[in-house]
Amino acid sequence: MDVDIVPDCCIPRQTQGYEGRLVTRHPDELHPHPAYIRHQLTVSASKLSALLAQDGIAFQEPLAITRDGTIIDGYARWELARRQHRRMLPCIEHDLTTGDALLWLLRMHCRRDGINDFCRILLALEFESSYRERALLNQRIGGKEKALSNLTKADRVEVRREIAAIAQVSVGNVTKVKQLMVTAQAELLQALSSGEISIHWAWKCSSESPESQRSAVRRYRQEKGVNKAIRDLMSRHERRGRSPAPDLRSLARRLLLFEADNGHSVNVLVLGCPGKAVFVTEELLMDLPPYQEALPI
């Protein structure tokens, strides 16, 4: 489903000088924007947890909706209200078309805690056909009859520039997302949608085989989890005081003996963290031969 051609500015016409009216609605009377549903966007667990920690204060801020109950802003509050079986929600109701509602949704979710770049680009691409039709019309007016699929490179760039302006991202990222929608595997797209990985990281992986893409996502998640575990462990270690640790040379000696028989049972990970450090689990350190048995270097 494509939306109608919209004005060049990112602020819908109807909202200029129009503040809407305060109403109360039952959560079941509200629904996501069709484009939000089409791209299977969801509210992250972290956002819901943050709202839950506010103990109801978050519901004092009205949701932004259209007259037919389409949610523009306040998806996390709406989702939490449904889970808590709240009866009514305060809303600011605006008289907007589907296209203008999507524009305003994008504008309001460009903030730090809003929808991530990848998801905003997906939503902004809903306007692509309209912009392409307008570019074709401009060609015809200029006496250049061409098929819609044969827009000049300059026209294609201009269309993507319009999309980038709506999503408030770079033109390069719009191009990458369009390529990702063709080449990326489901796991990669899911990680992008949740904000786990960046558009550029996914784009670099998308040229690999399907299995390589899936493996890359698994490694990324594993490394991210390990890094978090290390930070938590180091924080606890700092709080209770440092315990004696082997120096690098003695550790290397003990690892040489251990590797000969048991190396296959140890996971070796390369972590993307700054500095030069070797992390050893307590279980591994206990299994290493004692220093006295180490081979001389």
In a domain, 183, yes or no: no
User: Among residues 60, 95, 116, which one ends one of the domains?
Assistant: 116
With 0-12 / 13-18 / 19 or more C-beta atoms within 10 angstroms meaning exposed / middle / buried, residue 78 is buried
pLDDT of residue 281: 74
User: Among residues 116, 151, 185, which one ends one of the domains?
Assistant: 116
Q: Is the pTM above the cut of 0.75?
A: no
pLDDT of residue 3: 52
CATH number at 83 reads: 3.90.1530.10
- pLDDT-derived band at 248 (thresholds 50, 70, 90) equals confident
DSSP string, 21-65: EEEEE-GGG-B--HHHHHTT----HHHHHHHHHTTTGGGGSPEEE
In a domain, 49, yes or no: yes
Per-residue tokens: 115 = 């929808």
In a domain, 272, yes or no: yes
Q: Is the pLDDT of residue 13 over 90?
A: no
In a domain, 170, yes or no: no
Number of domains within the chain: 2
Average pLDDT, the chain: 81
Compute the distance between CA of residue 98 and CA of residue 38 in angstroms, rounded to an integer: 14
Q: Is the pLDDT of residue 148 over 70?
A: no
In a domain, 130, yes or no: no
Higher pLDDT, 89 or 159: 89
pLDDT of residue 240: 58
In a domain, 146, yes or no: no
Q: Is the pLDDT of residue 32 over 90?
A: yes
* Identity of the highest mean pLDDT range in 35-39, 135-139, 234-238: 35-39
* pLDDT tens column, 112-132: 778 999 999 999 999 998 888
In a domain, 64, yes or no: yes
pLDDT of residue 78: 96
User: Among residues 69, 94, 116, which one ends one of the domains?
Assistant: 116
Q: Is the pLDDT of residue 47 over 60?
A: yes
In a domain, 78, yes or no: yes
Chain centroid to Cα 285, Å, comes to 38
Higher pLDDT, 262 or 32: 32
Domain region containing 71:
13-116
